[in-house]
A and B are shown apart, each in its own frame.
Chain A
Amino acid sequence: MKKINGLIGVLIASLVMLTSCNNSETTPKKSGGALKSSAAEKVYVAPGEHDEFYAFVSGGFSGQLSVYGLPSGRLFKVIPVFSQDPEKAWGYNEETKPMLNTSHGFVPWDDAHHPDISQTNGEVDGRFVYINANNTPRIAKIDLSTFETTEILEVPNSAGNHSSSFVTENSEYVVAGTRFSVPFPQRDMSIKDYKGNFKGALSFIKLDQEDGGMDLSFQIMMPGFNYDLAHPGRGNSHGWFFFTTYNTEEANSLLEVNASQNDKDFIAAVNWKKAEEYIKAGKFKTVPANYAHNVYDEHTHTATSTMKKEVRILDPAECPGLVYFLPTPKSPHGVDVDPSGEYIIGNGKLSANLTVHSFTNMMKAIESGNFAGEAYGIPILKFEDVLGGVVEQPGLGPLHTEFDGKGNAYTTFFISSEVVKWKLGTWEVIDRKPTYYSVGHIMIPGGNSRKPFGKYAIAMNKITKDRYLPTGPEVTQSAQLYDITGEKMELLLDFPTIGEPHYAAGIPADLVKPRSKKYFPLEENKHKYATKSESEAKVVRDGNEVHIYMTMIRSHFAPDNIEGVKVGDKVYFHVTNLEQDYDVPHGISMIGANTSELLIMPGQTETFLWEPKQVGVWPFYCTDFCSALHQEMSGYVRVSPKDSNIDLSWSLGE
């Protein structure tokens, strides 16, 4: 009977989808009765009121992280992470250029995928967000007291840093895997010799408990599969980390066919507590590496980039009990662990069913020692031994699952473009709702922790076609907000996003708001070129370098008249915002400068470089409408010929 109901459900759903274009305008929306509030009321946050949740939505190929409020869907900030941002001078000013340094030099862009919030006791704690760069493998840390990127660590021996950046339940590690296996060590070799020579590194980055700082502790050098996604165990399974794999065929060309042949790929279960023991016992090899570690200091307001030269490697074949393979149909994409830590959901993207492994069964299977075989020295557990349950025919193309903390799971289906709600333990489908269109990830605030806040879910869609006013061939991607408090999900809101809203992390606003800083105390400013009062403002020449120690306060610069600069000089504007009030930034820009404006927060110092190429008198001005006299906030620099002997001079109000 259940099955028949299910079938009818699918039929009705597809009928609704087929006909919805025609009758959506005329048919009144189904409602739960007269007392049920409307969708508009549920997402309305009155002017001056605050949203209940923060949502940190990755910008995908924009390289940035956007900050939205839920349920309103309002965008508050785009935090520059991996891409240069002229609006905030990220990667343009002298202070933040080192943040984008890598072993490949300065990389001004990346593809930001999976934000994850730091956790304490398995619950999101609102201190830091970690996010991965997919293209040139890096992990960034965003400090939620300033909402700024304060650290970026390059990940060596990795490529397509996709199964990243997921945090263990006490923020012991942030973990990164490689989607593309690469020769290890990197070398000039034939691509055809992929099999056996290419390796996939799983990187365990130790986190500092105080400042969230990152240190690559060790890498597990795995067979040359594609490590697609990951999630940590929690509760009983704390100490384990799960990675999906595809291309266990180890194909190196036409992957869409050649990597889709095996009936089952694997979920790799990694016992990282065991790894720690092996590290302690000295079972690692230290190998040469070259990767950048970039740290931004909040007090010097300046980043430094250090090249690290070594990494510790564990070989799973030589470390029994470190890794087990759980056979999982068919090119599993997401792997998600339920709040209890018992169920490990393998979202087999080419499979008709959703596979759920049981942690208890996995431990029993490991204990029994009765394996199905091994791959590169790693034991393969028997599929039926570890299986916890199957959600039968829930939809097409399952990608990701999140949880509401009430025993339900929500899985996205890319091909059938829907979110399906099902019950853990009984594996029955409870509800399904279409997404518009082609959903990737779904996010429930705290939905990948021990304590989800199961009020809203947002589905992140890759395709919107006709959903908004058209903007030429390129149209926005979107997020869709569902109310998940009832038995049935209810679509409330549909809002555009920046770049690709690849994944998101959400948290109750009250866990973040009280820690958000209002400005930087001037007395704590330790910038090398800080100018803490107008009387200290000066201009200093050092060969062809000119350093301007400048201050800004409503509504003038000090100094604002500068003479003695020559063509060919390298002029550094070191500008300190002397304001000590909330929301009084100032900006500065110089005509012809080949960098961006600076947007300087109260108490902060930033620097831009200007290389004047033409003789004349050139103005600079404040770019942020700061005050009633904003238009007056400007100044001039006189640029003389290279051979001129005009002395440096500077003034204000003379």
Chain B
Amino acid sequence: MKISKLMMILGAISILGLFVFPLWRITLEAPQYPIPLAMDIYINDFADVHPHDIKNINLMNHYVGMQYIPESIPEFTIFPIVIAVMSVLGIAVGFIGKHKLFLAWFILMLLLAIAGMYDFYLWEHDYGHNLDPNAIMKFTNKDGSVMGFQPPLFGSKDILNFKAHSYPQLGAIFLAIGMALSFISFFVGKKQQK
């Protein structure tokens, strides 16, 4: 089998790592939480990093009127289907072996990933800004607008007494490796054709 085909197939299989490992992690640090509160985001679940972390994040966030982190969101149904379909598609494309299809798969996966990130941003924004008007504590920015508590999409940010961190996890790395493999397989396939 040609190396490019193998790479494409491996890449398509690699993204299945998202079913096993978390995509993203949000961590909240504060002095009175020597073990920080943290939540792992899977393509189909929000999960405690330490037992009851989500319950305790909810408990804390209700002071500023944030909604509870939902048990489930529609994305948890959609994402697994998208990833499964893309993996099957990628394996098929790999067997077909046309390098232009490799690129097409990569671009499609990239667009879906961007869409996914955007969707995540929208949820985060809503989570951080759609506050209960009867919140126990209300904070305003310097310009007088209501302070939001949106965690960063990527990176670290101070939110009141907490420092919030938001970083990709192993699942995201599997996705990145899969995409990188498909992208490289395109060039390798192209070269091999010549």
Residues of A within 8 A of B (CB): 521, 553-554, 579-582, 628-629
Contact B59 A554 (CB under 8 A): yes
Residues in chain B near residue A629, CB distance under 8 A: 63, 136
Q: Closest B-chain residue to A519, C-beta based?
A: B52
Residues in chain A near residue B59, CB distance under 8 A: 553-554, 579, 581
Q: How far is the CB of B49 from chain A (nearest CB, A)?
A: 13
Q: How far is the CB of A103 from chain B (nearest CB, A)?
A: 43
Q: How far is the CB of B77 from chain A (nearest CB, A)?
A: 27
A579 to B56, CA, bound (A): 8
Q: Closest A-chain residue to B56, C-beta based?
A: A581
A604 to B107, CA, bound (A): 54
- A–B pairs, 15, beta carbons within 8 Å: A553-B59, A554-B59, A579-B59, A580-B51, A580-B52, A580-B55, A580-B56, A581-B52, A581-B55, A581-B56, A581-B59, A582-B35, A628-B63, A628-B137, A629-B136
* B residues 112-139 touching A (CB-CB < 8 Å): 136-137
Q: How far is the CB of B179 from chain A (nearest CB, A)?
A: 39
Residues in chain A near residue B52, CB distance under 8 A: 580-581
Q: A580-B51, A581-B55 are in contact. List 4 more A-B contacts (CB 8 A).
A: A553-B59, A580-B55, A581-B56, A628-B137
* B residues 38-80 touching A (CB-CB < 8 Å): 51-52, 55-56, 59, 63
> What is the number of residues of chain B that contact chain A, defined by CB distance less than 8 Å?
9
Residues in chain A near residue B136, CB distance under 8 A: 629
Label chain A's interface by main secondary structure.
Answer: loop
A22 to B171, CA, bound (A): 74
Q: How far is the CB of A23 from chain B (nearest CB, A)?
A: 47
Residues in chain B near residue A553, CB distance under 8 A: 59
Residues of B within 8 A of A (CB): 35, 51-52, 55-56, 59, 63, 136-137
Residues in chain B near residue A579, CB distance under 8 A: 59
Residues in chain A near residue B137, CB distance under 8 A: 628
Residues in chain A near residue B55, CB distance under 8 A: 580-581
Q: How far is the CB of B54 from chain A (nearest CB, A)?
A: 10
Residues in chain A near residue B35, CB distance under 8 A: 582
A554 to B63, CA, bound (A): 10
Q: How far is the CB of B62 from chain A (nearest CB, A)?
A: 8
Residues in chain B near residue A580, CB distance under 8 A: 51-52, 55-56
Q: How far is the CB of B92 from chain A (nearest CB, A)?
A: 45
Q: Closest B-chain residue to A581, C-beta based?
A: B56
Q: How far is the CB of B120 from chain A (nearest CB, A)?
A: 27
Residues in chain B near residue A581, CB distance under 8 A: 52, 55-56, 59
Most buried by B among A579, A580, A581, A629: A581
A553 to B59, CA, bound (A): 9
Residues in chain B near residue A554, CB distance under 8 A: 59
Most buried by A among B35, B55, B56, B59: B59
A553 to B51, CA, bound (A): 17
Residues in chain B near residue A582, CB distance under 8 A: 35
A576 to B181, CA, bound (A): 54
A181 to B88, CA, bound (A): 85
Q: Closest B-chain residue to A602, C-beta based?
A: B52
Q: How far is the CB of A418 from chain B (nearest CB, A)?
A: 43
A521 to B51, CA, bound (A): 10
Q: How far is the CB of B156 from chain A (nearest CB, A)?
A: 23
A554 to B57, CA, bound (A): 12
A580 to B51, CA, bound (A): 8
A521 to B137, CA, bound (A): 30
Q: Which 10 A-B pairs have the closest CB atoms?
A: A580-B52, A581-B56, A554-B59, A580-B55, A629-B136, A581-B52, A628-B63, A553-B59, A580-B51, A580-B56
A582 to B59, CA, bound (A): 14
Q: Closest A-chain residue to B52, C-beta based?
A: A580
A606 to B35, CA, bound (A): 28
Q: How far is the CB of A532 from chain B (nearest CB, A)?
A: 13
Q: Closest A-chain residue to B63, C-beta based?
A: A628
A608 to B34, CA, bound (A): 34
A628 to B52, CA, bound (A): 20
A628 to B35, CA, bound (A): 20
A554 to B59, CA, bound (A): 7
A629 to B51, CA, bound (A): 24
Residues in chain A near residue B56, CB distance under 8 A: 580-581
Q: Closest B-chain residue to A583, C-beta based?
A: B32
A582 to B36, CA, bound (A): 12
A142 to B137, CA, bound (A): 43
A580 to B50, CA, bound (A): 11
A582 to B34, CA, bound (A): 10
A628 to B59, CA, bound (A): 12
Q: Closest A-chain residue to B137, C-beta based?
A: A628
Q: How far is the CB of A248 from chain B (nearest CB, A)?
A: 58
A580 to B54, CA, bound (A): 11
Q: How far is the CB of A358 from chain B (nearest CB, A)?
A: 52
Q: Closest A-chain residue to B53, C-beta based?
A: A581
